[in-house]
Structure 1
Amino acid sequence: MSKRKINSRTVLLLLWTVTIFISCKSEKEYYIFTSFREPADEGLYLAYSEDGYHWEDLGGPYLPPAVGKSQIMRDPSVVKGPEDTYHMVWTTDWKGGNGFGYASTKDFVHWSNQKFIPVMAHEPEVVNVWAPEIFYDDEEDQYIIIWASTIPFRFEKGEEEERNNHRMYYTTTKDFKEFSPTKLFLEPGFSVIDAVIVKRASNDYVLVLKDNTRPNRNIKVAFSESPVGPWENISEPFSDFLTEGPTVLHHGDQWLIYFDSYGAKTYQAVSTNDFISFSNIDGEISLPEGHKHGTISTISEEILKQLKDEAKKK
């Protein structure tokens, strides 16, 4: 039996094949859920999940608040952008603030310097800047940040007080140094807060929002061909009275919507594959005690190991 001579081209081909095989084996990812603990003065708390249903506590705080008049951290919203950098925004003041906090990280342990972004400084009568939510628009390679603010006597209202009649606003940025002028994001004809942008496909977006009017205070959805609207076909509520702070994860062919049922003092969730019909999955989920609403992203196994090691020190 003759021996075949293996030339350099064959070796390179074999190496290329092995490299492709290794790169195609995607690294396992876990879900990460940002949170805070009342009275919101400690900072960022975290939980993780392998299946999107059962969440394990990673404790905290991982980032103590250092900006804003009140120096609190509520509603921490995080998104993973290009180059695996996580960008986070949060509420810095319950009343009286005109902006939100911002910081970035690669691993949730080491953070950039915190910044205060005064997006409503041009509105001297603004009451608040609540629950900023960050969304990465991969088609425009920019970040969209939305939030709720009240400007008294600006819009029609129902039973709400003038200082509790919210509308949604937004700004965009590519680098978190320069921000576009603040614009009105959503005027649905009623007080609205806690909105979250979800991309299903190109030109197919869903907005999960809280109707904050006094008789409702529950969660609905709206639809658009653009992540900045206009938003149409606002649905009937799919959650109970006194629910807020929705966040969404995509798991298999289902979308899971988590939300804070603050009336019942618990966390709830529904699943949907079309954002039209919703199924209650309260009996299928578990979260750490004291978990308050944030948002869900994904992390690598390496980052999770680092966070577990860090949690042991806390």
Structure 2
Amino acid sequence: MLAPVHAQKAKQKYTAYLFAYFTGNKKEDESIHFALSDDGYNFKALNGNQPVVASSDISSTGGVRDPHILRGADGKTFYMVVTDMVCSLGWNSNRAMVLMKSTDLVNWTASVINIQTRFPGNENLLRVWAPQSIYDAKAGKYMIYWSMKHGNDPDKIYYAYANKDFTDLEAEPKQLYFPPNANSSCIDGDIVVNNSEFHLFYKNEGQGAGIRKAVSKELTGGYQLQDSAYVNQTKDPVEGAGTFKLNDGEGWILMYDVYTKGKYQFTKTNDLQHFSVIDHEVTMDFHPRHGTVMPITDKEKKRLLKQWGTVTTAAAH
């Protein structure tokens, strides 16, 4: 999501969209892929749907999942955070995330943050999943938020601020969201800012799993579940909510991974409360897994095309 600091000023500059995603549960699929769209509905994979960054170069496990991409508050620096994980090692096998930074969307620096070794008291940590980042204008820092599971406890959504260089976390993670049912597992948080309110979409795990939304006036706490209804518009299992604002100002798109069916669902909303399925309007020449979309400029689009082209061998969606 765009930082509110510059979103209003730079709104007219954005003419296209960059989709960052991974493609599957095989080790070779656990990597960062890019796709482009001019309208937010029709996407074409870059680089023949092959990775744009080698997972072995940036991770401790050899695989990465769940890429989240963010434009910085200065409008010209980009941040990406990913899960450092190879799922074939087990769903309770990873302890780290990767923080990445770029000034051109092509060349990225990366730092592995192993929560278990970095912070004491995490001896029974089992997994670190789906990090995302957002600029906290009040604090003047970038906040990272993600889910963790310790021992027999449910998955919980935590947060911590990144350091100035975006290479480490400043302090021990704190719990960000406290669901009404303390035994409810919460993963895949996605925060959208609108009208000075923070809308936290997340997946509720366990019985009755689905995507819910909590809202707060403060970024780092106070989130209240809006109602008991799920925002996903399918009864199939879903995960990985990702929300982006359309460049024409006509609402937002909320998308999510319908992972048991090998497909994505796209919905549109004008108020972040009511969602209509728009799958019939969406095309992709690739099969994405949990990812995010960021508005980009024409200059940025041309730079990405120069680097990776538009040719793709991926099967049609």
The more displaced of 32-41 and 248-257 is 32-41
Match of 1:115 in 2: 111
Contact 2:60–2:112 (CA<8 Å) still a contact in 1? no
Out of 199, 204, 213, the position equivalent to 1:206 is 199
More strand by share: 2
- Tell me by how many angstroms 1:192 deviates: 0.9
Kindly provide the CA deviation profile for residues 233-252 of structure 1, in whole angstroms up to 9, marking residues without a partner as x: 34311223310111111122
Which residue identity lines up with residue 191 of structure 2 in the other structure?
I
Match of 1:197 in 2: 191
Q: Percent identity among equivalent residues?
A: 25
Out of 87, 95, 102, the position equivalent to 2:79 is 87
CA distance in 1, matches of 2:198, 2:93: 32
- Tell me by how many angstroms 1:126 deviates: 0.5
CA distance in 2, matches of 1:192, 1:136: 22
- The question of 1:246 aligning with 2:241 is answered yes
Match of 1:16 in 2: none
- After superposition, residues 18-97 of structure 1 pair within 5 angstroms as 26-38=12-24, 39-41=26-28, 43-58=31-46, 59-65=49-55, 66-83=57-74, 84-93=76-85, 94=87, 95-97=92-94
Aligned residues: 279
Match of 2:314 in 1: none
Contact 1:47–1:288 (CA<8 Å) still a contact in 2? no
- The question of 1:305 aligning with 2:302 is answered yes
CA distance in 1, matches of 2:10, 2:282: 31
Kindly provide the CA deviation profile for residues 217-246 of structure 1, in whole angstroms up to 9, marking residues without a partner as x: 311111111112221034311223310111
Match of 1:232 in 2: 224
The structure having more radius of gyration, on CA atoms, is 1
Secondary structure of the corresponding residue to residue 101 of structure 2: strand
TM-score (norm 1): 0.82
Which residue identity lines up with residue 193 of structure 1 in the other structure?
I
Structure 2: state its 5+ residue gaps.
1-8, 312-317
- Tell me by how many angstroms 1:211 deviates: 0.8
- Tell me by how many angstroms 1:298 deviates: 2.0
CA distance in 2, matches of 1:195, 1:183: 14
- State the Cα RMSD in Å: 2.2
Kindly provide the CA deviation profile for residues 86-133 of structure 1, in whole angstroms up to 9, marking residues without a partner as x: 111101124332220111112221112x21112343301100101111
Q: Identify if the C-alpha distance between structure 1 residues 201 and 25 changes in structure 2 by more than 3 Å, giving closer, same or farther.
A: closer
TM-score (norm 2): 0.81
Q: Identify if the C-alpha distance between structure 1 residues 25 and 45 changes in structure 2 by more than 3 Å, giving closer, same or farther.
A: closer
Higher relative contact order (CA 8 A, sep 6+): 2
